[in-house]
Structures are given as C-alpha cells and as structure tokens.
C-alpha cells in the first residue's frame, strides 16, 4: 500500500493532501512546550511541497497562534496556501486569506483554569506544569517523576467528566478540552474540501489515532492513504498502524526532503 500510494503522490501531486501533526512530528518534544520549534529542514521541505501538492496542512492539538509562532510558517514562499487546524480542529488559520477562526473559551475551561492549581496542590502535585491553551488545559510531567501522571490519570478523568470535558492523554501529558472534534474529523473534512485523491498523514501520539482511523476509512471509499508514525520510546500505539515508521522529527524531515526531491 505504501509504495502504491507514494507512486500515486508522485504522479498526481495536485491530488494529494499532506497533513502533519506538529509536536513530536515536525518539532522535537521538549520540557518547555513554548520552545518546541519546527524542524528547519521540515519547514523548507514543506515549502517545496506546498508549491506542487494539492494541499499541505498542519493538524495539531496546539493553538493555531502557537503553531504559527513555533513553526515560522508565515511569509514562507511555497506555503501561501498552508492550512493550520489547531486545538484538534476547533481553530483554523488559512495562509491564503490570513483569516483565523478561534472560538470563545468555554465556561467549563474557565472553571478548570480557576480550580486546577488548588486541585493539584491537594493531591501533592503542585510541581507539575500547567499549560493553558485557551480552549484546553494541559498537565505536563516531563522532567518530573513519570509516576505522577499515572497517579493523576483517573482523578483527572473524573474531574473532566464532572465538567463535561474530554480527556486527551499524550506523551507525559494529559489534556482536558472541550469535546466535539478530533484529528480524524479534520482529516475527513480537508479531504472533502480539497477533493484529495491521496492523503498522507504523519503523527506520533495517541491524539493522532483518530486521524489514522480516518485515513483507513477513506481508503475504503477509494482515497489512497499513507500513514506515517514519528516513533519514540515513549509511545508505540501508532507503530503497528503505520505504513512508514520514522525515528522522530529528524527522520520525518529527511522523509519530507526525499519526497520533495522526487516530485
């Protein structure tokens, strides 16, 4: 399947949607998420691919504005049609128009932001890192005892349920966000929007599984699909599902460069 789809991409680039996760795929995972800059080689390769593919999109759990800042995508020649879907599809930015769609922060997230510090303090977890993403709140334990996140998982799930929020686990992080959309919904919508005949999706973590499911479903309806896992020693859930397994963002950058050279 992977060889057939890659050949189709090369022969029919305008019929191809390339969608990629950000953290762990285009950018290395780091202790401070505000310092997770996109791999320069990946950005350069995407700029080349943006000139020849039907559509290039970033599909991320990050807020759109963070992805723009850390990706350095604005004003890059070749990325004039880039689409960024942030917060699992709740936000969107289109380079072609400069329009950003950002929904209002929900009352549940406002309440969570107000109460979470004391909630963590009561459970002896005051030292974890809280990331306020506007439409979601993430609890990070990178650089801290990994057992802390394991101990917090069930209580955080109960807290989320009480507020009507969804739980999004990841690599040393648990995120609480509004339900209603996921990366699979985004991929399906983008394929329909651009009329893609081939779709490539690359990701690294549990939040990317819905996108993998979407690509598998699209294959059943005649759209060629290629699934890429940016692998790590922290998460292997995507490895068995992927057509191509790469060793982290450096290898993803190399793969994108090779594809750009072939087309």
Strands 173-177 and 166-170, bridge-based pairing: antiparallel
Q: Residue 87 gets which letter from DSSP?
A: G
Contacts of 116 (CB under 8 A, 6+ apart): 130, 137, 139
> In this structure, are 85 and 11 located in the same domain?
yes
Q: How far is CA 85 from CA 19, 21, 22, 102, 136, in A?
A: 10, 10, 11, 10, 15
> In this structure, are 194 and 254 located in the same domain?
yes
> In this structure, are 92 and 163 located in the same domain?
no
> In this structure, are 94 and 114 located in the same domain?
no
> In this structure, are 256 and 226 located in the same domain?
yes
- Per-residue pLDDT, averaged over 70-89, amounts to 97
> In this structure, are 210 and 257 located in the same domain?
yes
Whether residue 167 contacts residue 27, with contact meaning beta carbons closer than 8 Å, is answered with no
What are the pLDDT digits (tens) for 113-136?
999 999 999 998 888 999 999 999
Count of residues making up the chain: 263
> In this structure, are 94 and 48 located in the same domain?
yes
> In this structure, are 133 and 220 located in the same domain?
no
- Four-residue CA torsion sign, 197, 228, 24, 185: positive
Last residue within a domain, chosen from 138, 159, 177: 177
> In this structure, are 29 and 96 located in the same domain?
yes
What are the pLDDT digits (tens) for 27-57?
999 888 889 999 999 999 999 999 999 999 9
Q: What is the mean pLDDT of the chain?
A: 94
Considering only CA atoms, which of 5, 25, 44 is closest in space to residue 261? 44
CATH code, 198? 3.40.50.1000
What are the pLDDT digits (tens) for 12-25?
999 999 999 999 99
Is pLDDT above 60 for 111? yes
> In this structure, are 50 and 151 located in the same domain?
no
> In this structure, are 87 and 208 located in the same domain?
yes
CATH code, 165? 3.30.70.1020
- Per-residue pLDDT, averaged over 163-170, amounts to 93
pTM of the model: 0.93
Domain that holds residue 55: 2-103+181-262
Total domains present in the chain:
2
Q: Residue 195, SS3?
A: coil
Neighbours of 116 (CB within 10 A): 18
Whether residue 215 contacts residue 201, with contact meaning beta carbons closer than 8 Å, is answered with yes
Q: Which residues pair with 229 in a beta bridge?
A: 203, 245
DSSP characters over 129-183: EEEE-SSEEEEE-TTS-THHHHHHHHHHHHHHHHHT-EEEEETTEEEEE-SS--H
């Amino acid at each position: 399947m992977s060889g057939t789809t890659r050949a189709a991409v090369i022969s029919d680039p305008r019929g191809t949607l390339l969608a990629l996760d950000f953290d762990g795929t285009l950018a290395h995972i780091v202790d401070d998420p505000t310092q997770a800059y996109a791999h320069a080689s990946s950005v350069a390769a995407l700029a080349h691919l943006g000139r020849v593919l039907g559509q290039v999109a970033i599909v991320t759990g990050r807020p759109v504005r963070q992805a723009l800042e850390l990706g350095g995508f604005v004003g890059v020649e070749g990325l004039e049609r880039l689409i960024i879907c942030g917060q699992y599809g709740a936000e969107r930015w289109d380079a072609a128009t400069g329009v950003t769609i950002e929904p209002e922060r929900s009352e549940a997230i406002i309440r969570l932001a107000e109460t979470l510090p004391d909630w963590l303090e009561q459970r002896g977890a005051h030292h974890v890192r809280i990331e306020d993403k506007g439409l979601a709140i993430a609890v990070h334990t990178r650089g801290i005892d990994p057992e802390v996140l394991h101990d917090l998982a069930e209580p955080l799930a109960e807290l989320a349920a009480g507020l009507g929020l969804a739980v999004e686990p990841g690599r040393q992080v648990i995120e609480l966000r509004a339900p209603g959309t996921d990366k699979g919904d985004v991929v399906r919508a983008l394929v329909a929007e651009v009329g893609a005949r081939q779709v490539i999706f690359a990701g690294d973590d549990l939040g990317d599984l819905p996108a993998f499911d979407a690509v598998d479903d699209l294959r059943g309806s005649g759209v060629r699909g290629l699934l890429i896992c940016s692998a790590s020693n922290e998460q292997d859930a995507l490895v068995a599902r992927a057509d191509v397994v790469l060793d982290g963002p450096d290898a993803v950058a190399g793969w994108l460069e090779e594809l750009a050279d072939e087309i």
